[in-house]
Amino acid sequence: MKRALVTGAAGFIGSHLVDSLLSENWSVTAVDNFDAFYAREIKQRNIAGHRDFKNYSLIELDICDRAALHALGAGDYDVIVHLAAKAGVRPSILDPFAYQQVNVIGTQNVLELARMCGVRQFVLASSSSVYGVNPNVPWQESDHVLLPISPYASTKVSTELLSHVYWHLYGIRIMALRFFTVFGPRQRPDLAIHKFARLIAERRPVPIYGDGSTSRDYTYVADIVEGVRAAMEYDKTGYEIFNLGNNQAISLLEMVRTIGDAFSLKPLLEFAPEQPGDVPQTRADISKAQVFLGYHPVTSFKEGIRTFAEWFERESVCASGAGHLGS
């Protein structure tokens, strides 16, 4: 039985990854601090099915608590997947010190745990935000001119550099994955697709920042999990950075209209000024991940939104006892 330690394991991507691992009889040590960034109950629902597995253990701790984290050093892990982070571009502008503490110092704590345990494989969740305002789309991992424009993005650059140090000094194989706007069931309530779905369902105006032409490379969570799983097994080289995206850009207006179509509702649009820290576009060149990891996203944006909408309606009914959101 293979053993994995997953940080951020009760979150959006983490809980889907744990689903996948448990389905293949992995032993999973799940770490999460249930940060108050959003309701604890949401994460509890994410992991409700995990508790039935004997090969699953949940440890509630903060990766900034070095002593508590390093107490896990007695574990025998084949791989550590480090997903835990303080998320969000705009909140990072309001509290940059907290983001530096959790994302950079916390990551160093987890890397130190890997060193102490003799873990040979480490998968790091990075972000497309590291590219910043780079106009050379689609973005390639070989482009070393990173221009982050938010504290969150800068911390993700820092974690990539820090992980390179641990590969160089200690021989830990590091796979840094730059996620491109992940969406799907269990998505955090603060993220655009989830937030806009709630506004559309409640017949409230959807804020359109700028003229609606900003675009994102939206990637369905199941495709991301497949990329993470491949990175967990990759052993040909010692340190790599991979884009995990969908290689297509969807504009803000198209995204909102697609959500409206999924709910059979016409969105009410409310235009607002552009937000600081937001980049005008993201788009991934995924050719490296295709060659090295066999990564091939298969879920279209429309298909992913339909699946998300079905999940959203089920969750809303469970939470409120109400009927169909479009009724």
Which amino acid is present at 85? A
Q: Cα separation of 77 and 104, whole Å?
A: 22
The DSSP secondary-structure symbol of 273 reads P
The DSSP secondary-structure symbol of 132 reads B
Q: Cα separation of 192 and 262, whole Å?
A: 15
Closest listed residue to residue 130, CA positions, set 111, 151, 109, 110: 151
Alpha helices in the chain (DSSP H): 12-23, 40-46, 66-70, 89-94, 96-99, 106-117, 151-170, 192-201, 221-233, 252-262, 287-293, 301-320
DSSP 280-317: SB--B--HHHHHHH-------HHHHHHHHHHHHHHHHH
Catalytic residue (choose from 131, 152, 218, 295)? 152
Residue 119, token pair as written in the block: 């873990």
Instruction: Please give the backbone phi and psi of residue 248, each rounded to the nearest 5 degrees, phi first.
Output: -150, 145
Please name every residue paired with 206 in a beta bridge, in sequence order, or none if there are none: 269
**218 tagged catalytic:** no
Instruction: Please give the backbone phi and psi of residue 84, each rounded to the nearest 5 degrees, phi first.
Output: -65, 135
DSSP 161-201: HHHHHHHHHH--EEEEEEE--EESTT--TTSHHHHHHHHHH
Where in the sequence numbering do the catalytic residues fall?
Answer: 152
